[in-house]
Structure 1
Amino acid sequence: MTVTLSRRLAAVRGSAIRDLLTLTARPDVLSLAGGLPASDALPRERIAEAAARALTAPAAVQYSETAGVAGLREVVAAHESARIGRPVGPADVVVTSGSQQALDLVARALLDPGDPVVVEDPVYVGALQVLQAAGAEVHAVPVDEGGLRIDLLAERLAAGLRPRLVHTVASFHNPRGVTSGPERRRALVALAERYGFLVVEDDPYGLLAFDGAPPVPVAAYGDRVVRLGSASKVLAPALRVGWLVGPAPLTAAVERLKQSTDLCGSSLTQTITAELLADEPWFTAHLAGLRTANARRAAALTAALDTELGHRITRSTPTGGMFVWVDFTDGTDTTVLLPRAVERGVGFVPGSAFATDGGFASSARLCFATYPPAKLHEAVRRLARALT
């Protein structure tokens, strides 16, 4: 049967990462491709306890407010207030099905086809898909070891670029793994105030700093910032709980759009998430365990890369988050390398998957969070064999 699809869909690139999850799902493949938390780090027993308590309340299995369960919005508002250093009320929070839905709703609320937007290069693939689906005109600004190149953004703004929004993963960038410093964050907000755009601060990894000191959010430097958060990396992806915090006109618009998308999210998983986030002693200890485990895994992966491939790569040095970015200095095409690597039992994401318009052909993103150190060493050994 012939189905005529919308012209807008033609501009939306498929997610290489989602495709790779299928390709690398074989039990014999060690996949460094997905941004998957370690299964043994997911607090299944604590989630089960919270679920049992939630199921004693009829409201937990009923429809809820479109903006989210009140208890969760209160907890998120308290967390955000502490992070950004100014009051955030429950009315400023909209709970979504993961932060990806939050990003989609923000784009739908703010953008008309043809509107210019700025993304980082390399870019988080989910953001690129959302903006392409909105019909936006995408402008890429490079990321270096210090995060988004604010100097280059300033030059383009001075030359006449007028974006509706700038999307950034400022803390433990996906895919580069780097973090923007306070000076760049402050400068980005100053540009937003001068030129009138909104900053969309996508922050799923900020609490995963190895040293336990999360970077000060971009939103702490000004109010022209929409913050996106998620429980996926700090609790469990299957809860499908995310949120956004932003200016009242935007949150009202997002809530209205969400009514046409899913009416409301899951009262059950939101109630579970609210309990876990509100249990400060437990959540603090849980985060500390995640940070310690991830730091060990990052050290194992980078050590293995240096031992096995140090003569032919440069790499990032993670201080949090989930990813290491690798550049092959010998011209290796990682898209060509990938099928050979999968044959030898290891997966990764080629850098070209994160390019806005070509580039990064000799780069790759590796996730260190999924496996313990011994398996990470073995994954790198398999990658080295694929190269030879």
Structure 2
Amino acid sequence: MSVDSPSLDPSLRLSSRMAGLRSSAIRDLLTFTARPEVISLAGGLPAVELVPRERIARAAQRALGDPRSVQYGETSGWAPLRETVASRESDAVGRRLDSSEVVITHGSQQALSLLAQVLLDPGDTVVVEEPGYTGALQAFGAAQAALVPVALDADGMDTAVLEEALTEGLRPKVVHTVSNFHNPRGVVLSAQRREHLASLADRYGFWIIEDDPYGELWFDAPAPAPVAAHSDRVLRLSSGSKTLAPALRVGWLHGDRRVCEAVELIKQGTDLCGSSLTQRIATELLDDGAWLDTHLATVRGAYAARSGALIRALESAFGERLSHTEVFGGMFCWIEFTDGCDTTRLLERAIEHDVAFVPGGAFGVAKGHPHAARLCFATYDSAALVEGVDRLRRAYDAHLRTPWSATGH
């Protein structure tokens, strides 16, 4: 479902960085999944009924009482929000951060894109996870980096494999990790590997981008301390999109002050500044600790129940034909068909049955993951998820009945 970038016809005069770029398979599915009859397990969309719209409305009204909320703001973000983020992240990493070490961005994806521009020259090596987060693959691809994948297992990135590659001469500029409730695999980087990864960064001098939009969405217990707790060579990203509301478009990064200053400089040429209004709204919500704790507990409980409903439905519908990762938090479940089912072809049948998912190939770097898929359990309630799996099973049965060669593909 992905498409290549426009061909580099000289008459178009597009830049060389457009060569080889692919549109996100998830973005490409949005037109289909916008239809109300479709159950989309594809996009990483929070449940709209859990977005605190009334609380946001009250905060917006208060923010609009100040005329500065509709004016241009600082490129690095509204100062009180940077102070709030610095305080919250100080608690997470176990050392005091200054607000000058924080930049507010238009979602954490912008932070990733800006860091790619700041840190990378064409041809620089970036270590990514296999399978990898599509937004990171796009950002690093646009920076014309050379991607080197390191496999994931149940404990996250295999840092022993990374160390072996480093001892053999690999010299990355950046290592990217989605440390908590990985997108797409759903796994958590273990505490031991977090310390190991940080020690490798200190020894070999690369930057770690710790991408953590899902860390607050734990079910039974929080994830281990961030990688940033173990090294000052970590640039840590997070966002309010998954916990407050995607439409606020409030994300942030923190790390080395010199990198933050460089990010701010590049950001001036990108959007001048973010939304003063939504940053003020986000500040009020993040500062209201009692309300936020209750809100997050509600979201965690709902997502835990939904993940359980999805997994039970998958096990009932497919039995031993399918395996899945254990889900401890976040929004995603990674599945693999053990009978050789090609999920890219299965998606065509699934669309005919008004259900969607993302084939594993969309996340591949060096591997195709042809029998895997990512399912999001956050968007729908348990009953809809069960119905979605039933549609998926019917699509699977239709796929088995009709040999692919007979469809003309």
Fold similarity call, TM over 0.5: yes
Cross-structure match for 1:53: 62
Three-state SS of the structure 2 residue aligned to 1:324 is: strand
Shift of 1:357: 3.0
For 1:70-89, what aligned pairs fall within 5 Å after superposition? 70-89=79-98
Structure 2 residue 259 is matched with structure 1 residue 242: no
- Does the 8 Å contact 1:212/1:288 carry over to 2? no
Structure 2 residue 266 is matched with structure 1 residue 257: yes
Structure 2 residue 177 is matched with structure 1 residue 168: yes
For 1:22, give the aligned amino acid: T
Whole-angstrom CA distance in 2 between matches of 1:214 and 1:159 = 32
Structure 2 residue 334 is matched with structure 1 residue 325: yes
Cross-structure match for 1:136: 145
Structure 2 residue 90 is matched with structure 1 residue 103: no
5+ unaligned residues in a row in structure 1: which ranges? none
Deviation digits for residues 229-264 of structure 1, max 9, x if unmatched? 100000000000100001011000000000010100
Which shows bigger deviation, 31-40 or 212-221? 212-221
Cross-structure match for 1:380: 389
Whole-angstrom CA distance in 1 between matches of 2:51 and 2:74 = 28
Which shows bigger deviation, 207-216 or 302-311? 207-216
Cross-structure match for 1:39: 48
For 1:181-330, what aligned pairs fall within 5 Å after superposition? 181-330=190-339
Whole-angstrom CA distance in 2 between matches of 1:334 and 1:327 = 9
Cross-structure match for 2:166: 157
Deviation digits for residues 155-204 of structure 1, max 9, x if unmatched? 11111000001000010000000001100000000100010001000000
Cross-structure match for 2:361: 352
Shift of 1:113: 0.3
User: What number of residue pairs does the alignment pair up?
Assistant: 388
For 1:379, give the aligned amino acid: G
Whole-angstrom CA distance in 2 between matches of 1:328 and 1:364 = 9
Three-state SS of the structure 2 residue aligned to 1:327 is: strand
For 1:196, give the aligned amino acid: G
Cross-structure match for 1:367: 376
- Does the 8 Å contact 1:35/1:322 carry over to 2? yes
Three-state SS of the structure 2 residue aligned to 1:206 is: coil
Whole-angstrom CA distance in 1 between matches of 2:263 and 2:85 = 17
- Compute the RMSD of aligned alpha carbons: 1.0
Cross-structure match for 2:129: 120
Shift of 1:14: 1.1
Whole-angstrom CA distance in 1 between matches of 2:352 and 2:20 = 32
5+ unaligned residues in a row in structure 2: which ranges? 1-8, 398-409
TM-score (norm 1): 0.99
Three-state SS of the structure 2 residue aligned to 1:311 is: helix
Whole-angstrom CA distance in 1 between matches of 2:348 and 2:339 = 19
Three-state SS of the structure 2 residue aligned to 1:106 is: helix
- Does the 8 Å contact 2:186/2:332 carry over to 1? yes
- Does the 8 Å contact 1:115/1:164 carry over to 2? yes
For 1:233, give the aligned amino acid: K
- Does the 8 Å contact 1:208/1:214 carry over to 2? no
Misfit runs of 4+, over 3 Å: none
Whole-angstrom CA distance in 1 between matches of 2:232 and 2:315 = 42
Three-state SS of the structure 2 residue aligned to 1:252 is: helix
Three-state SS of the structure 2 residue aligned to 1:207 is: coil
- Does the 8 Å contact 2:25/2:358 carry over to 1? yes
Three-state SS of the structure 1 residue aligned to 2:29 is: helix
Whole-angstrom CA distance in 2 between matches of 1:151 and 1:214 = 21
- Does the 8 Å contact 1:81/1:88 carry over to 2? yes
Whole-angstrom CA distance in 2 between matches of 1:310 and 1:218 = 37
- Does the 8 Å contact 1:97/1:240 carry over to 2? yes
For 2:239, give the aligned amino acid: S
Three-state SS of the structure 1 residue aligned to 2:91 is: helix
- Does the 8 Å contact 2:188/2:223 carry over to 1? no
